[in-house]
Amino acid sequence: MRPTMRRKTWRDLRAAWAQSLALVVIVALGISSLMALTGAYRDLGASYRHTYDSLHFADVTFRVRAAPTAAAAKLAALDGVQAVTPRLVVDTGYELPDGVPIRARLIGIASGQQPAVNQVYLLEGEFLSSDDPQGVLVESHFAKAYGLHPGDTVTPIIMGKKTPLTVRGIVASPEYLIVSPSRQEVMPSARTFGVFFVALNELQRLTNAQGKVNEFCLLFTPHADADAVVKAARAVLTPYGVESATLAKDQPSAAALKLDLEGYREMSNTIPALILLVAALSLYVMLGRMVRSQRQQIGLMRALGYSRRQVAAHYLAFALLIGATGAVVGAGLGVLLARGITTAYATELGIPLIQVRFYPDLLLEGVLISLMLAALAGWGPTRAISRLRPAQAMRLNPVEALARGRRTLLERLLPWTFSLTVRMALRNAFRARRRAASTWISIVFAVMLVLMSWGMWDSMNYMLDRNFRQIERWDALAVFSQPQTSDALNDVRHWEGVREVTPALVFPVTLKADGQHKDVLLSALPPDQTMHRWFVLDGVSPLKALQDGGVLLTPLLAQNLSLNVGDTLTVQTPFGDKKVVLRGLVDELYGSNAFVGLDTAEAWTGAPVAVYTAFYVRAEADRLTALKKDLFRLPGAASATLKRDMERDWRSLMNLFYVFMGFLAVFAGGMAFAVLFNAMTVNVLERERELATMRAIGASLRRIAAMLALETVVLWLLAVAPGLFLGWYVGDAMMRSFSTELMTLQAHIETHSYVLTAVGVLITALLGALPAIRRVGKLNLAEATKILT
């Protein structure tokens, strides 16, 4: 490029610095959202894998009734087994300082050095030394929940006795990245379930199990045949009573993490893609307008003798400089944000080994898309204009010349006569179609992005609120490992502060239909109960469904099992296989709920008297803490949960979601502002001469401002409905993609969100027009009517 042409490129950028900057921001936001959100998602996956690898997460864990420690040697000798760690795992209780009982798991491991399989990651303190029977390592989530540090004392209940142990270290464990006691209890429960690592021989001594272990954690060699190894290991362990063999992918924490991440997969790919798309389109539209506004200069260059190619190169450079600057800023921002999100999330979850990587493919994708559209925007209009004969291109006010003034439909339809300002605003809004269309699109985009992010926030709150206010209507839930009779039920009914108790049977089952099967926790409730409200989506009323011996499932379960209402399925229970009819689909937050009538389940058990494994309790609010304690102290109680704690856990699990939404809101807001600002600025710049003329003939700045504002309002009116629709539509699609077995989600946007979005965008658009209006005020009237614009 010739030196003066090059200088012109820079000067043009500087002259339109505000618009150029807005475009740079748009591109940067597009690229950085891709790198940050998609990158963070990948980082999280990588962090899990890295944590599993470096801490030698077991490929399979065998639970046996009791085996000598020495059995480990036999397993280690098997083909495909790289390492074995024998452990003694004891599930017991723990009393918090305020007397509230919770659950605890003691894991006995050889002290002195890290186990070969399922190592722990020391966050604080030291590993257990071999001459320290009182030492304990506390899993980090529990430690964090109760502020435990090395040197503190903890007192798990071992063989019915509070046993003081001294905290030597705080550790993260690959088995408890999400603290979940079993596969059926997906919800994290750091506050109600503590994991403690103690010296194996001491735990054996305390539980009278000298020389015995009940768990073997196996690590496979790199290319081992997993099935064969599991089979061989099972054969070795059969004499000791194999209770379960859990593969890494089925391990509760790993499975919960997988579910958690799954929900974000779609979202972390779609949302940035959408933002990038909006960014790229806005860039295209705006840059195109900027170039088109230089129509006369293009004509002049051609008149002076510059070739089409030279002129195109000039505007291409202009466009690419903006695109490239945006890409560089976006890449930098993206790397920083990805790091921030990954670190925040990983820290929140307690993933110790964080992997933050740079993903060149994401950068490349973002840069390519942005540059391509920048190039297209720079090249397309230039080409079209430089194809015109220079005489044509240089004619004054091409926009005005091309678009004929005419009366608008609105003017003709409405009976009254508008003031001239209103008439002008109306005509302007429809006169230059391309200009109006691109401003309109900008408003649609802005409304869509803002509503979408706002709506997702609304939806999440709505779903949680609905679940904890409308669906779950109990205050405390006690689950028993030994069945209770009506005596216990009547006891609890007479406790102080207890208003109502509903008994239930809850047990793990496998649902089978059509060759597919699904492990779930089945709840058997009295059909007329009021503790858990069913929202029926399809089928008969719950009362009738359950009285008839039918089953209620969530739509996701029915879908996974290819079942329709009226179909029959098999329920594999601890009491044998039962055939039941699917009588209804119910809308639940948790995606894998299944219900039958209490009588139906009682009949299955075959017990001579009614037995229960769960009590739903409604009670006075100020009695809840005490109630929880008392419930847990009932003989055979496995857990006692307050709904309010459960709600808090759910909301904390949604942290990544809120982080995502927060970023999305920032991206959307920033993008909306930049897009609107640009649209408004260009809108005025394109007509500088016309506006200067109006000023010249005496129109006050206020009147011009009113006209421009009105024009904006007209376009906004036309853009609001499609924008809101798109925002709702995309938000709904996002929420659906976010649904997993863990939770069912759909868009539920509050009315005030629609209103605030629409009004907010209008205000932003009007604010975006302000600098442009100020510019009109500063126009040198004599010059503006002369100089090329």
Partner 1 sequence: MSAIIRLENVTKTYPMGEVEVHALRGLNLEVPQGQFVVLLGPSGSGKTTTLNLIGGLDRPTEGKVVVEGEDIARLNDRRLTQYRAAKVGFVFQFFNLIPTLTAAENIAFALELVTRDRKAIQERTAALLALVGLANRGNHFPSQLSGGEQQRVAIARALANRPSIVLADEPTGNLDVETGRQVLQALRDLNRQEGVTVVLVTHNTAIAPLADRVVRLHNGTVASDEHNPHPAPASALNW
Ligand X SMILES: Nc1ncnc2c1ncn2[C@@H]1O[C@H](COP(=O)(O)OP(=O)(O)O)[C@@H](O)[C@H]1O
Residues 324-353 close enough to bind ligand X by CB under 6 A? none
Residue 554 interacting with partner 1 (CB under 8 A): no
Cβ 291 vs Cβ 315: under 8 Å:
yes
Smallest separation (angstroms) from ligand X to the CB of 392: 6
SS3 per-residue string spanning 160-176: CEECCEEEEEEEECHHH
The yes or no reply on residue 755 touching partner 1 (CB under 8 A) is: no
- Mask 238-277, x = binds partner 1 (CB under 8 A)? ----------------------------------------
Q: Which does 11 bind (CB under 5 to 8 A by kind): ligand X, partner 1, none?
A: partner 1
Q: Is 11 in the site for partner 1 (CB under 8 A)?
A: yes
DSSP conformational letter for 536: E
Tell the smallest beta-carbon distance from residue 285 to ligand X (Å).
Answer: 27
- Report whether 427 contacts 407 (CB < 8 A): yes
Closest distance of CB 392 from partner 1, Å? 7
Per residue, what are the HEC states of 7-61?
A: HHHHHHHHHCHHHHHHHHHHHHHHHHHHHHHHHHHHHHHHHHHHHHHHCCCCCEE
Query: H-helix or E-strand containing 714?
Result: helix 701-738
State the residue for tokens 């087994």: 81
Q: Which of partner 1, ligand X, none is residue 4 near (CB under 5 to 8 Å by kind)?
A: partner 1
160 binds, among ligand X, partner 1, none (CB under 5 to 8 A by kind): none
Smallest distance from the beta carbon of 693 to ligand X, in angstroms?
19
Tokens read off for 688: 């500088």
Look-up: residue for tokens 């506006």?
691
Of 263, 265, 256, 271, the closest CA to residue 662 belongs to: 271
Report which DSSP code applies to 740: -
Report d(CA 725, CA 529) in Å as an integer: 39
User: Which one of 303-311, 508-516, 591-599, 738-746 is the stretch in contact with partner 1 (CB under 8 A)?
Assistant: 303-311
> Token pair 């020391």 is at which residue?
122
- Looking at the DSSP bridge assignments, the partners of residue 92 are 104
Cβ-contact 58, 176 below 8 angstroms:
no
Smaller CB separation from partner 1, 385 or 441: 385
**413 touches which of ligand X, partner 1, none (CB within 5 to 8 A by kind)?**
none
Q: Which is nearer to ligand X, 392 or 481 (CB)?
A: 392
3-state secondary structure string across 685-696: HCCHHHHHHHHH
49 is a contact residue toward partner 1 (CB under 8 A): no
The minimum distance between CB 402 and ligand X, in angstroms, equals 10
**Residue count at the site for ligand X (CB under 6 A)?**
2
- CA-to-CA separations, 546 to 268, 567, 596, in angstroms, rounded: 40, 15, 6
Per CB under 8 A, which of residues 486..515 are in contact with partner 1? none
According to DSSP, the β-strands at 193-199 and 101-109 are parallel
210 CB-contact burial (10 Å; exposed 0-12 / middle 13-18 / buried 19+): exposed
Choose, by CB under 8 A, the member of 52, 57, 62, 306 that binds partner 1: 306
Binding residue for partner 1 (CB under 8 A) from 97, 151, 305, 608? 305
**Cβ closest to ligand X, residue 244 vs residue 392:** 392
| Calpha distance 744→435 (Å, rounded) | 43
Q: Is 7 in the site for partner 1 (CB under 8 A)?
A: yes
HSE value, Cβ hemisphere, 13 Å, CA-based, for 88: 25
Alpha-carbon gap, residue 323 to 317, rounded angstroms = 10
Single out the residue of 14, 207, 197 nearest to residue 107, CA to CA: 197
Instruction: Please choose, from the candidates 706, 522, 688, the residue with its C-alpha nearest in 3D space to the C-alpha of residue 605.
Output: 522
User: Residue 404 CB, nearest distance to ligand X (Å)?
Assistant: 13
Nearer to ligand X, 158 or 394 (CB): 394
Interior/surface letters 374-406, b for 16+ CB within 10 angstroms, e for the rest: bbbbbbbbbbebbebebeebbeebbbbeebeee
38 binds partner 1 (CB under 8 A): no
Where does this chain touch partner 1 (CB under 8 A) — which range of 229-237, 409-417, 473-481, 781-789? 781-789
| Candidate list 110, 157, 300, 464; residue touching partner 1; CB under 8 A | 300
Q: HEC profile for 731-769?
A: HHHHHHHHCCCCCCCCCCCCHHHHHHHHHHHHHHHHHHH
Residue 165, beta-bridge partner list: 154
Q: Which of 109, 280, 394, 426 forms a contact with partner 1 (CB under 8 A)?
A: 394
By a kind-dependent CB cut-off of 5 to 8 A, residue 764 interacts, out of ligand X, partner 1, none, with: none
Site string for partner 1, 587-626 (x = CB under 8 A): ----------------------------------------
Using CB under 8 A as the binding rule, whether residue 12 contacts partner 1 is answered as yes
Q: Which is closer to partner 1, CB of 73 or CB of 391?
A: 391
- Identity of the residue, 13 or 373, whose beta carbon is nearer to partner 1 in the bound complex: 13
Q: Which stretch binds partner 1 (CB under 8 A): 9-17, 108-116, 365-373, 422-430?
A: 9-17
Is 388 or 638 the residue whose CB approaches ligand X more closely?
388
Q: Which of residues 381-410 bind ligand X (CB under 6 A)?
A: 392, 395
* Binding span for partner 1 by CB under 8 A among 294-302, 367-375, 691-699, 719-727: 294-302
551-553 and 576-586 as β-strands: parallel, antiparallel, unpaired? parallel
Nearer to partner 1, 403 or 671 (CB): 403
Here the contacts of 339-344 (C-beta below 8 Å, separation 24 or greater) are 340/36, 341/36, 341/37, 341/40, 341/43, 341/659, 341/660, 341/663, 342/39, 342/40, 342/43, 342/44, 342/47, 344/659
Find the shortest distance in angstroms from Cβ 425 to partner 1.
25
The smaller minimum CB distance to partner 1, of residues 688 and 711, is found at 688
By CB under 8 A, name the one of 295, 302, 628, 695 that touches partner 1.
Answer: 302
Using CB under 8 A as the binding rule, whether residue 786 contacts partner 1 is answered as yes
Q: Are strands 165-172 and 153-154 parallel, antiparallel or unpaired?
A: antiparallel
Neighbours of 416 (CB within 10 A): 5
For 765, half-sphere exposure in the C-beta direction (CA atoms, 13 angstrom radius) is 29
CA distance linking residue 279 with residue 23, whole number of Å? 9
**Is 14 or 161 the residue whose CB approaches partner 1 more closely?**
14
> Considering the rule CB under 8 A, would residue 308 count as an interface residue with partner 1?
yes
CB nearer to partner 1: pick between 304 and 413: 304
Binding range to partner 1, per CB under 8 A, among 69-77, 150-158, 650-658, 775-783: 775-783
From ligand X, partner 1, none, interface partner of 73 (C-beta below 5 to 8 A by class):
none
| Total site size for partner 1, rule CB under 8 A | 33
Asked whether position 562 contacts ligand X by CB under 6 A, the answer is: no
Q: Residue 788 binds which entry of ligand X, partner 1, none, with Cβ cut-offs from 5 to 8 Å by kind?
A: partner 1
109: CB partners within 8 A, 6+ apart: 85, 87, 115, 128, 197, 198, 199, 200
Out of partner 1, ligand X, none, what residue 308 binds, judged by CB under 5 to 8 A for its kind, is partner 1
Binding mask 371-390 toward partner 1 (x if CB under 8 A, else -) reads ------------------xx
User: Which pair of tokens denotes residue 44?
Assistant: 């999280």
Strand pairing class (536-539; 576-586): antiparallel
Structural element, H or E, at residue 321: helix 308-349
Of 262, 396, 368, 376, the closest CA to residue 316 belongs to 376
Look at residue 434 and give the partner it binds from ligand X, partner 1, none, a contact being a CB closer than 5 to 8 Å depending on partner kind.
Answer: none
Nearer to partner 1, 61 or 297 (CB): 297
Radius of gyration of the chain (CA): 34
Residue of the chain from 130, 238, 347, 392 that contacts partner 1 (CB under 8 A) = 392
Tokens 């260009």, residue located: 682
| Residues at the interface with partner 1 (CB under 8 A) | 2-5, 7-8, 11-12, 14-15, 296-297, 300, 302-308, 389-392, 394, 396, 780, 782-783, 786-789
| Residues at the interface with ligand X (CB under 6 A) | 392, 395
